[in-house]
Structure 1
């Protein structure tokens, strides 16, 4: 969790990001791209920056790589959307303080209303929220699912009550507990198998950092991002931070929901289906990518250039970022810039380079404090999850 100094830094970064977003809304390429037959934003996300987003479907909306800007904090108006089920009716926000979260698998189980949670001490954590399939569109095998590039990710602040504090108030977890299980409040249509519910289990250790949150970037969480209350699991992929959370349980086994048992598994590319024995998509590995310059920047002039991007380590802090201008043949250490908002947040990096005339393959790779370095190759898997390949995320620019 963040210290007060880090929280203050995050809020200043948020103000800067909001100002930058407002200034950038007039940039032509975004509006031009949106005007060329792009899908409109769905009603529950109509408040987002349409020109900066790619609408894949009503439940899958991505931020354009060229729209990521320079701020650490991603404005909510530019944060990606991924829903596994249709969101609940927006009426749940009207009386949000009455929303209840049932806590189970503790010695004194009970429900808490949002109004009750708001009376407890809060914490703020800044973290990377990233879809498990971010980078899926770079797999040559073209896995089924949304072909995300890099925009199914953002760095945002969540405010709420630490799960560990709720556990303490309720007398501790059951002795048999091995998992933290969150259940979402989406409505399951009549006749649909109840196992289609959004319910995810993560290892119990994740509860030490988890939050029951009701604010996103200092504002009430909008419906598109899980309001009025969302379970936040820092360092884990977004599916594990259950939206519209109505139940948090400490369980001896993983949920029997299909989203846990047969979805979000690192299954072999040739597997006929996903197997519960395959590794679950939980913690995010180290990852980085370059946001500037990009191929759409046009032809660059030979000479000095600045490479900018973002890097994160999942559950561990960033130690170092390197960049390459020759497709990984040689590397140069980049500078980490901007505020350090904690081990779950991403870091901005910059590198001053000289580019000669011709084409250059620009790449970045991050190393976390545990010594894990972003790999060159992706992990091939059936659903295209957890693509951290620096080669896949590299970009080719033309210099004249």
Structure 2
């Protein structure tokens, strides 16, 4: 069990002389990936950016591995949209070669489990229609570092998440053009187009995920644009599945097949992977799958010591599968709460919303955290029960930060 009284938090301290200029949350700058291609690729933590994302802002990210890059907590701005240059990276397999995006419109996707099965190109899909949605993209393991047990995998804090604008064709539009879903198909199963290692069973490594078919028909899109630009190769271009409100693993990159199936995929990543289970228990198909996200929020500023007086507390909040409706902030570790104000436009039910609460703080040490409530009345949990792989962390107590005011 998680001990509710214990708080895991980051305490970022810098010299008083530099405090005022160093703690302001940096907003989204709207710079496209190519504009940063010539800058250094050596982030502050000393690890070089992977080649496939060498265009990202090295000062905004933490490089964990060749396949995992995290957005720094204080680089989440107040505009509401995460620039591609600051977006986290989480790939289960290496990206395909650059040839995949050399002629994006020629990328092929097969559609199965519909009345008129066929293969279509991205160019074909673009002629069917387009829809745009703002949605949070979040890794299932975001917050893994906040659990007590040593779950395997990247030790994400808060930075395996971003809020993006996706554009593409709705899955329902494609299905309607192909005569509808065949009878008895309860799931939509998407298969990624990564190159698989030789000499091992493909089912053990292939990225293939199933979600309920009714959800897919309601909200899924096949996206070729991210933030108004072609989806970068590292993030699933030329075409990826986007399931607003669902964890990132279900948003299959480089999608090569979309099939409506009677059962869930038998691939390991679906059958036993991304399953919520007690610590020490093996994954199994009857355990909850990492599908829908939970209501969540966290503070992004201040994270370091401050001078006394008026301080703006910033952060982001989202409702997962229901629009975020309210966010409260505490400066005393959850003993009391004050309602914050949302910043900027409401981008829809699946997007996050930046928030702010101005406070006057006298000298002392403050434990600052936030708590969100969605439109369905779900309140962000105080603690998240441990699970074997460290998934689904959203507890506000351990998302808190300590700030000393001088």
Q: TM-score, normalised by structure 1?
A: 0.90
- 1:280 alignment counterpart: 289
Aligned partner of 2:114 among 97, 106, 112? 106
**Partner of residue 381, structure 2:** 375
Residue 336 (structure 2) pairs with residue 330 (structure 1): yes
- The equivalent position to 1:318 in structure 2, one of 316, 321, 324, is 324
| Residue 138 of structure 2, aligned match among 130, 143, 150 | 130
Of the three residues 279, 288, 293, the one matched with 1:269 is: 279
- Answering whether residue 52 of structure 2 is matched by residue 41 of structure 1, we say no
Alpha-carbon contact 1:182-1:248 (below 8 Å) kept: yes
Which residue, 262, 267, 286 being the options, matches 1:252? Answer: 262
Partner of 1:183: 191
- How far does residue 19 in structure 1 lie from its aligned partner after superposition? 4.8
CA-CA distance at 1:98 after TM superposition: 1.0
1:357 to 360, 363, 369: 363
Which residue of structure 2 aligns with residue 4 of structure 1? none
**Any residues of structure 2 matched to 1:107-186 within 5 Å, and which?**
107-186=115-194
Deviations 1:151-181 (A, max 9, x none): 1000001110000111111111112111111
Number of the residue aligned with 1:395: 401
In 1, Cα distance between the equivalents of 2:32 and 2:231? 19
CA RMSD in angstroms comes to 1.7
Quick one: distance in 2 between partners of 1:117 and 1:79? Answer: 26
Match of residue 17 from structure 1: 28
Residues 262 and 112 of structure 1: is their aligned pair in 2 closer, same or farther, counting only changes over 3 Å? same
Any idea what the Cα deviations from partners look like across 1:38-71, whole Å, max 9, x if unmatched?
Answer: 2101111101111111110000000111111222
Report what 2:209 is aligned to: 200
Partner of 1:243: 253
1:165 is paired with a residue whose SS is: helix
Structure 1 SS opposite 2:355 = strand
SS at match of 1:239: helix
Aligned to 2:68: 60
Answer yes or no: is the 8 Å Cα contact 1:363–1:390 preserved in 2. Answer: yes
C-alpha displacement of 1:21: 9.7
Q: Structure 2: how far apart are the matches of 1:100 and 1:188?
A: 18
Contact 1:183 1:247 in 2 (8 A): yes
- Classify the secondary structure of the residue corresponding to 1:78: coil
The CA distance in 2 between the partners of 1:205 and 1:318, in whole Å, is 23
Counterpart of 2:299 in structure 1 is 290
* Alignment partner of 1:219 is 2:229: yes
Counterpart residue number, 2:99 = 91
CA distance in structure 1 between the aligned counterparts of 2:339 and 2:349, rounded to whole angstroms: 20
- Could you list the runs of 5+ residues in structure 1 that have no partner in the other structure? 1-15, 26-30
For residue 20 of structure 1, report the CA deviation from its aligned partner: 8.4
Query: Which is richer in helix?
Result: 1
Q: Residues 203-261 of structure 1: CA distance to partner in whole angstroms, max 9, x if unpaired?
A: 11221100011011111111110000101111000000000000001111000000001
Task: Return closer, same or farther for 1:174/1:21 CA change in 2, 3 Å cut-off.
Answer: closer
CA distance in 2, matches of 1:49, 1:170: 42
Unaligned runs of 5+ in 2: 1-26
Distance 1:41 1:83 in 2: 14
Deviates more, 1:352-361 or 1:128-137: 352-361
3-state SS of 2:101 partner: helix
Q: 2:21 corresponds to which residue?
A: none
Give the TM-score, by structure 2 length: 0.89
Per the TM alignment, residue 35 of structure 1 is displaced from its structure 2 partner at its CA by 4.5
- CA distance in 1 between counterparts of 2:277 and 2:150 reads 15
TM-superposed CA distance for 1:17, in Å, is 2.7
Partner Cα distance (1:65, 1:144) in 2: 22
Larger RCO: 1 or 2 (CA < 8 Å, sep 6+): 2
Q: 1:341 aligns with which of 343, 347, 351?
A: 347
